[in-house]
Structure 1
Amino acid sequence: MKRNHTILSRLTTGLCSFFRQGFKTKPSTSSFVILLTLLNTALYNWPLFSFSIKNLDGFTLNSMQTLMTVFAAIYLVTTLVLYVLFILSRRLGKAVCVVFALANSLAVYFVVTYNVILDRTMIGNIFNTQYSESGQFLSPKLAIYFILLGVLPAWLILRVSVQKTSRIRLFAHLIITVIVTSTWIWQSQSHWLWIDDHAKQLGGRIMPWSYVGNTIRYQNQLAKENVVQTLLPDATFDSNEKTVVVLVIGESARAENFSLYGYEKPTNPLLTASENVVTLKNATSCATYTTESVKCILSHNNPSGSFSEQFEPLPSYLQRQGVDVFWRTKNWGEPPIKVASYLSSGDLKKNCEGSECDYDGVLLSHLAEQIQESDKQKVFVVLHQTGSHGPSYYSKYPKEFEVFKPICRSVELSNCTQEELINAYDNTVLYNDHFLDQLRKTLEGLKDTSSAYLYVSDHGESLGEGGIYLHGTPYSIAPEQQFKVPFFVWMSPSFIDQRHISIDKLRAREQSTQANIFHSVMGAFDMNSEIYNKDLDMFRAARQQ
C-alpha cells in the first residue's frame, strides 16, 4: 500500500513539473498530443506495467522488448484516437481528455485497490450497481486518487494553451506515428504469444481503452438482449396438490465458507441441525457477476450461447401457466419479468417490524400471509438477497450476528488483516443461516401445503486470495472462489412423500449447476412441457425406484 502511494506521489509531482513548462510556452497540437499520450501511459497504466513485470521472466532483454511492445500498442491506440479528436477540434480533444483523466483516476483506484479487471463483465457489474451499493466504496483513498489523478490533471490540461496546427500537418504526424509504432509491433511478433496469453488481464488494465471498449461491447450485448421475449411452449400439470416452492437467490456467497461444505467455523449451525436439508456437492455458477448469473438461473437453456433469441424467464413462464409468482428483492439484476407481485425492500419495509427490516430479513416480512391469500394451488416465490455483497460485509447483518471477531470495518479491504476480512464475511454467512431457518419455519407453518425451497448463490467472492477481491473476474481466469457456490434444498415431509424423493440419492449428486433450477422447479410443480428437460430436474433424478 505504501508503495502505491509513493508511486502516486512521484507521478503527480512529475506531472506538475512536466506541465509547468507548458504554461510558459505554447506547445503545438502535435506536441500536446504526444505529451498527453506519454502522461496517460505513465500516470494511468502503471498498474498494467506492474502486472507485466510480475509475470515476465525478470529484467531480461526479452522481457524489456515485450514491455516495449505493450507500450507501443498503448501508444498507438492512444495517439490515433487523440489525433483524430484534435483534427476535428482542439476543444473537443481537450474536453475528451478531461473526461478521460477523471474517469481514469477512478478506474485506477479500483484496479489497484481491489485488483479488478475492467472487462465486459465488470463493466456490466458497474452499470447494474445501484447507488446504495456503490456508496459503500466511498473512502478517503478514493478521494485522493480522484483529486491527484483526476482533478489535477484535468485542470492542467485545461490550463495549457495549444497552438493551432493545420489539419494536414496533424494528419501527416498521425500517419508517421502509425507507421513507426506499427512497424515496431509487427517486428516484435515473437512477443505476441506472451501478450496473447495474458490478453484479458492486460486488456482489462489499459487506460482508458479497457472501460471505453468494454462499455461499447456491453451496450452492444445489452441491445441484442433487449428484444421481445419468445414465449415458451405451454405446460400441463400432472397433479393439483397445494404446492409452494421458494427460490432464494443468494449474493456473493462462496461454498468454502459454509460449514455445510466442511468449513471449520460453525457458519451454518441451524442448517446443519435441520432435517431434510440436502447440500449439493460441486455446485458452480454460470458467471461471476449478478446479471448474467440471474439470467442463467431463470433460463431453460444456456442464455450465453446466443443473443439472437431471448426466451421468457422462469417467473414469467410460471405466471403465464397459472402459477402465482411473487418476487421479493433486496437486490437487482433480474431480466424483464411479468409476475403477480413484485416487491422491493422499500415496499416490504413499510409493513415490516423488528430489527431485521434493514437486512435480508425484510424479504420474509408477511410472506406467510401473502402465500395464504393466494387462491392458486401452485405458488412460486423468489427471494433475491443482498447476502454477502462486498466490500462492506459488516453492514449486511444485525449486530447480534457479529459472532466472529475482530472484523473488517473498512471498504479498503487490503487495509484489513485476512482474519478481520474473513470474520466479517463469515458473519454474513451466519446471518444467512438464520434467514434460511426462518424461511423453513414459515413454510412449515403453512397448513395442508407441500413446500420446498432451493438456495443458490448468484456467484462467489474473492477475499484477498492472490490479491483479488470481490467478484466479476472473467470466468476463464476467475479463481474458484468466484464460481464455486453453495447450493442446497430443503423439502417438507409431504413434498418428499408426494414426489417419492430419496434424500440419499439427492445428496449423492456429484455435480450441480444453476442450469438445474428451471427444470427442477418445473419438476417440483409436476409440470410437463416440450422444453422440460428431465435430465436437469434434480427431483426427478432422485426419485425412489
Structure 2
Amino acid sequence: MLSKIRFFLKKEVDADLFSLFYSLFNLIYNIPLFIFAAKNLDFHSYGGYASFIGLFLAQISFVYIFLTVFSFIPSLLKIISSILFLSNSVALYFVCEYNAVLDKTMMGNVFNTNTGEAGELIGYKFFIYIFFLGIIPSLSVLALNIKKTSVIRKIYLLISIVLAISVFAYLNSKTWLWFDKNSKKIGGLTMPFSYIGNTMRYFSEKAALNKVPVKLPDASFENKDKTTVILVIGESARSSNFSLYGYPRITNAYLKNDSVVALPNARSLSTYTTESVAFMLSHLGSQKTKIFYEPLPSYLQRQGINVFWFSNNWGEPKLDVSYYKKASKLREECGAACGNQNYDSLMIRGLKEELNKNQSSDNFMVFHLTGSHGPLYSSKYPAEFEVFKPACKSVDLQKCSSQELINAYDNTILYTDYFLHEVISFLRSIKKMSSVMIYISDHGESLGEYGFYLHGAPYSMAPDFQKNIPFIVWMSDEFKKRRKISDSDFKEIKNLSQDNIFHSVMGAFLMKSPVYEKSKDIFAKR
C-alpha cells in the first residue's frame, strides 16, 4: 500500500489536472454553503435547481480560475494550495462549530481577538479538522511532482470556462435575485473566497478610515440669510416608472400636487451605490482621482453649516459631521410607537425633531433611502402602499410574473412619493423659512428587460433602465423670492447627473469658493 502511494506521489501531475482535482476536493470545505442553499431554495421549481447547480458550477470554476493564475509556476501552485488547505480547514471548523459567517465584520473580529479569547474557541475538534482536512492534504500536495502545461491550453480552458459560466448565468438570469438576496450569507460561506475577500475588504476599509482627507479651500457666503437644504438620495429608482416623467400609472399622486420640478434627462454615472454617492458628494463629481478630498457634508460642517445625515442604507464615504443616525437607531429611540418597522418614513421623525430646534440656522440634511432596493421590493413599503396588485413577494422570479414584479416595484415608487411629500409638507409648514429639497436616485433598476435584473451591471453594457434616474426639486416661496428664481428657469437645464449635486448645494447656500463650478449649479442664473 505504501509503495503504491510513493509511486503515485513520484508521478508527474499535470498542473491543469491538479487545479481541477483541487477544485473538486475544495467542495468539501463548502458543504455548509450547499446545506444553506438546499434549505433556502425551492426545489419545486426549475429556479431552485438552476440556482443550486449554478452555485456548484461557479464554485468549481472560480477556484479553478484562481489556481490557474499560480499554475505557471508549479512550486508556487503547491505552496498556495497547501496554505489554502490549512486555512480552509480552520475556517470550516469555525463555520461548523460556531455557525460563523466569514463576512467582513467577522474577519474584523478575527484580527481584533486576543490570544486568550481565541484559545477559548478551540476544542479537540479543531485539531481533527486541522489534521484530516488541513495537514494531510497539504503534505500530500507538497510531495507531488507538478509539471507545467501549455500556456495556449490554459488560455483555451479559461476562455471556455468563462464563456460557459456566462451562458449559463444568462440563460438562468431569473435566479440572480436569490443570489442577490442571500449574497452576504453566500459570500461568508464560500471557501476560500469568503475569508480572503473579506480580509482584504476589512483592511482596505480600515486604511480608508485612517486616511486624512485633503481639506477644500474655505468658502464665503454672499449674504447672511439662513437656508435649509435637504438632499434625499434615492435607491434604485428609475425615472421611467415615475408618472412625473410620463409613466402611465399614477405613481406620484402626492408630488404632482406639490409644485415640484422634475428635471428631465438625468442620468446616473454609475450603476452601484457606493460610487454614485461618492460622485454626489465630491466637488470633482465623477472625475477620477487618487486624492481623498473631504466630501460635501464634511466641507459644509467645517464652513459653519449644521449637517445632519440620516440613513436607512449604506455606502457613504467617511464623514466628519455633528449628527449621523441610522434609521434603526431612530426606531430604537421611538420604542413601541414604531414597532418593528424599518421603513424610510422613520427618518421623517428625525427631520422634524432636528429642524424644529434649528430653524434659525443654515442646515444641510441628507436622507439616504432604502427606496426601491431589490430583490424583495415588497418589503420596502407598508401594507397600505400595496396599491398595485398582485405584487411579487418572492426572490424566486419563477413564482412571479413580469407584471407582479413591476407591481411590487411601482409600490416602492408610491412610497418614495409619500416620503418626499412628507418632507415637503413639513418644510412648507415652517413659514418664512428659505428651504429647498433635492431628490436624486443613486442609479436605476432593471426589471427583466433584456434579461437584466436589479442593478450593478458594467456601465458600458448596462441598459438605460439602470442609468436614467429621477432628479426632482422643490423650493419654498421664500427661497424663490430671495433667489429671484422660478420653476420655469429649470427648463433650459440639460445633461444632469450626480455631478450637479455638490455645486447645486453650494449654490443653494450662496457659497463661493475656488472649487465651486457655476455651470454645474442648477440654481445659478443662466
Q: TM (normalized to structure 2)?
A: 0.70
The answer as to 2:475 corresponding to 1:475 is no
**Corresponding residue number in structure 1 for 2:498:** 514
CA distance 1:81–1:471, change in 2 (3 Å): farther
The answer as to 2:226 corresponding to 1:242 is yes
**Corresponding residue number in structure 1 for 2:514:** 530
The aligned runs of 1:73-152 (5 Å cut-off) are: 74=65, 77=68, 80=71, 83-84=74-75, 87-88=78-79, 92-95=83-86
Superposed displacement of residue 477, structure 1: 1.9
3-state DSSP of counterpart to 1:326:
strand
The answer as to 2:315 corresponding to 1:333 is yes
The aligned runs of 1:374-385 (5 Å cut-off) are: 374=358, 376-385=360-369
The answer as to 2:394 corresponding to 1:403 is no
Partners of 2:371 and 2:485 lie apart in 1 by: 30
Of stretches 438-447 and 295-304 in structure 1, the one that deviates more from structure 2 is: 295-304
The answer as to 2:289 corresponding to 1:306 is yes
Superposed displacement of residue 450, structure 1: 0.9
The amino acid across from 2:307 in the alignment is V
Kept after mapping to 1: 8 A contact 2:85/2:137: no
The aligned runs of 1:105-254 (5 Å cut-off) are: 158=133, 170=145, 173-174=146-147, 176-177=148-149, 180=150, 182-184=151-153, 225-226=208-209, 227-254=211-238
3-state DSSP of counterpart to 1:337:
coil
**Corresponding residue number in structure 1 for 2:253:** 269
Partners of 2:134 and 2:141 lie apart in 1 by: 22
Kept after mapping to 2: 8 A contact 1:229/1:310: yes
The answer as to 2:262 corresponding to 1:279 is yes
2:276 to 275, 285, 293: 293
Of stretches 33-42 and 345-354 in structure 1, the one that deviates more from structure 2 is: 33-42
3-state DSSP of counterpart to 1:92:
helix
Kept after mapping to 2: 8 A contact 1:37/1:75: no
The answer as to 2:430 corresponding to 1:446 is yes
Kept after mapping to 1: 8 A contact 2:82/2:139: no
Unaligned runs of 5+ in 1: 1-23, 45-69, 103-125, 129-153
Partners of 2:448 and 2:221 lie apart in 1 by: 48
The amino acid across from 1:435 in the alignment is F
Partners of 1:491 and 1:429 lie apart in 2 by: 21
**Corresponding residue number in structure 2 for 1:38:** 20
The answer as to 2:305 corresponding to 1:320 is no
Superposed displacement of residue 402, structure 1: 0.3
Superposed displacement of residue 503, structure 1: 1.5
The amino acid across from 2:274 in the alignment is T
CA distance 1:491–1:25, change in 2 (3 Å): farther
Superposed displacement of residue 507, structure 1: 3.2
Kept after mapping to 2: 8 A contact 1:85/1:93: no
3-state DSSP of counterpart to 1:512:
coil
3-state DSSP of counterpart to 1:427:
helix
CA distance 1:431–1:355, change in 2 (3 Å): farther
Superposed displacement of residue 540, structure 1: 0.5
1:82-128 per-residue CA deviation (whole Å, 9 max, x = no partner) reads 955663387534346779999xxxxxxxxxxxxxxxxxxxxxxx969
**Corresponding residue number in structure 2 for 1:3:** none
Superposed displacement of residue 237, structure 1: 1.0
Superposed displacement of residue 310, structure 1: 1.0
Superposed displacement of residue 242, structure 1: 2.8
Computed over aligned residues only, the root mean square deviation of the Cα atoms, in angstroms, reads 4.4
**Corresponding residue number in structure 1 for 2:30:** none
**Corresponding residue number in structure 1 for 2:325:** 343
Superposed displacement of residue 526, structure 1: 0.9
Superposed displacement of residue 541, structure 1: 4.0
3-state DSSP of counterpart to 1:440:
helix
Kept after mapping to 2: 8 A contact 1:27/1:163: no
Percent sequence identity over aligned pairs: 40
1:301-354 per-residue CA deviation (whole Å, 9 max, x = no partner) reads 1355111x1111111111111111111111111111122211111222244445
Partners of 1:159 and 1:350 lie apart in 2 by: 45
Kept after mapping to 1: 8 A contact 2:327/2:346: yes
CA distance 1:327–1:35, change in 2 (3 Å): same
**Corresponding residue number in structure 1 for 2:400:** 416
3-state DSSP of counterpart to 1:423:
helix
Aligned residue pairs total 430
The aligned runs of 1:484-523 (5 Å cut-off) are: 484-523=468-507
The amino acid across from 1:372 in the alignment is N
Kept after mapping to 1: 8 A contact 2:16/2:71: no
The aligned runs of 1:362-381 (5 Å cut-off) are: 362-374=346-358, 376-381=360-365
**Corresponding residue number in structure 2 for 1:13:** none
1:469-511 per-residue CA deviation (whole Å, 9 max, x = no partner) reads 2222222222222221111101111111211113123133222
CA distance 1:414–1:461, change in 2 (3 Å): farther
3-state DSSP of counterpart to 1:284:
coil
Of stretches 232-241 and 465-474 in structure 1, the one that deviates more from structure 2 is: 465-474
Partners of 2:309 and 2:231 lie apart in 1 by: 10
